[in-house]
Structure 1
Amino acid sequence: MTDPREAAARYLAAQQQDQNADGDEESGTPPGIAAAVDRAAFIETAIQVAIRRGEFDDLPGAGKPLEGLGTHHDPDWWIRRKIETENLTGLGPPAILLRTEDQELNDQLDLLGRESDVRDVLDDFNRRVREARRQLQGGPPVVTEPRDVDVEVAAWAERRAARPIAPPVEQQRRRRFGIRRRG
């Protein structure tokens, strides 16, 4: 079932398109402008019809301010909220990504078991810091410093030595399930 107003808007748009196809050279209107105007008129008519039908009534959040805007104007508020709600990572300018990675790097290094792996991760981090400093893509400046690999490896080894030694897997299993040793 078609709404009569919608049908009338389509008929009017078709009539105007036929007239513009015949007389574009005479009217001086650039080609495509009339189609854009017709499309805008059709969309506006469809919106008005939907409003009259009540399709926009009782929408969630109607009449309430948008959450997360704060008191200052941030044109990127919506993308920041999307990143937070979707828990997206790896998005943003290199300066911010490297700063965040730098803060979490020690924890990541502590998960590694071999010195060569720690050196590889640090070399990769330093390479990306140097590349980001060379890029002139705009955005915030890269203030993250490359890390001294030898100093970081020594700090990693100290943190590793200070950690309590985990009991063997069999002892952990016995404790967890309350199994006693047969003797």
Structure 2
Amino acid sequence: MTDPREAAARYRARQQSDGAEEDAESGTAPGIAAATDRAAFIETAIQVAIRRGDFDDLPGAGKPLEGLGTHHDPDWWIRRKIEQENLTGLGPLAILLRTEDRELDDQLDLLGREADVREVLVDFNGRVIEARRQLQGGPPVVTEPRDVDAEVAAWADRRAARFDARAAEAPEQPRRRRFGIRRRA
């Protein structure tokens, strides 16, 4: 008694060798007939699925594709993938710099010293200028370097506004004594 898997493997080998002989006789390149058969099989499977109604009532049917803006962005697919997967540090340098530029104010607000803010801005500007100099292909670098003095002033204004908001929120409470012991006079 033969194993059914072995019989199936022999059958497939026979079919493939017959196809190769037919390709050699017809003068076509090997594999073209197999590729044509595969494409026909796929097309038939799609048509059968359509007739069965497998593609009816899919989510998003009849709705516009989300994320299509009013302007043409050739890198929409990579930007969407990076956002969906929440990937950092991957992708073309131009897109990474755009993302960093968008989030830079929030990152600066986490810093406590003006010297640290200046250091981060100088580093960011250096990377933007270096990216503009390199011709590695990919999307163009449209991110502008930031004016360090103006950004430091904006950072200081945001910081002062945060401190004022905190002071307005928390009413001043009377100080408590540390040990609660009263001294007699």
* Aligned-partner Cα distance in 2 for 1:105–1:147: 13
| Amino acid in the other structure paired with 2:39 | A
Q: Which residue of 2 aligns with 1:60?
A: 59
Q: Which residue of 2 aligns with 1:139?
A: 139
1:59-106 residue CA offsets vs partner (Å, 9 max, x unmatched): 2343x142445788777666666667x385767654455356446534
Aligned-pair distance for 1:23?
2.9
* Aligned-partner Cα distance in 2 for 1:20–1:65: 45
* Aligned-partner Cα distance in 2 for 1:74–1:158: 35
Q: Which residue of 2 aligns with 1:29?
A: 28
Q: Which residue of 2 aligns with 1:8?
A: none
1:96-149 residue CA offsets vs partner (Å, 9 max, x unmatched): 55356446534432321123422331232022112211122243353513544x
* Aligned-partner Cα distance in 1 for 2:122–2:69: 40
Alignment TM-score, normalising by the size of structure 2? 0.57
Find the structure with the greater CA-based Rg: 2
| Amino acid in the other structure paired with 1:135 | Q
* Aligned-partner Cα distance in 2 for 1:78–1:98: 17
| Contact 2:94/2:140 (<8 A) preserved | yes
Alignment TM-score, normalising by the size of structure 1? 0.58
Deviates most, 70-79 or 108-117: 70-79
Q: Which residue of 2 aligns with 1:45?
A: 44
Q: Structure 1: 5+ residue runs without aligned partners?
A: 1-12
Aligned-pair distance for 1:156?
6.1
- Paired residue secondary structure (2:46): helix
Aligned-pair distance for 1:45?
2.0
Percent same amino acid at aligned positions? 66
| Amino acid in the other structure paired with 1:144 | E
Change in CA separation of 1:66 and 1:143 when aligned onto 2, cut-off 3 Å: closer
| Contact 1:94/1:132 (<8 A) preserved | yes
Change in CA separation of 1:59 and 1:14 when aligned onto 2, cut-off 3 Å: farther
Q: Number of paired residues?
A: 159
Query: Once superposed, what is the RMSD of the aligned Cα atoms?
Result: 4.3
- Paired residue secondary structure (1:42): helix
- Paired residue secondary structure (2:34): helix
Change in CA separation of 1:61 and 1:157 when aligned onto 2, cut-off 3 Å: closer
Q: Which residue of 1 aligns with 2:110?
A: 111
* Aligned-partner Cα distance in 1 for 2:70–2:153: 43
1:26-60 residue CA offsets vs partner (Å, 9 max, x unmatched): 21111221111111111122222223333223323
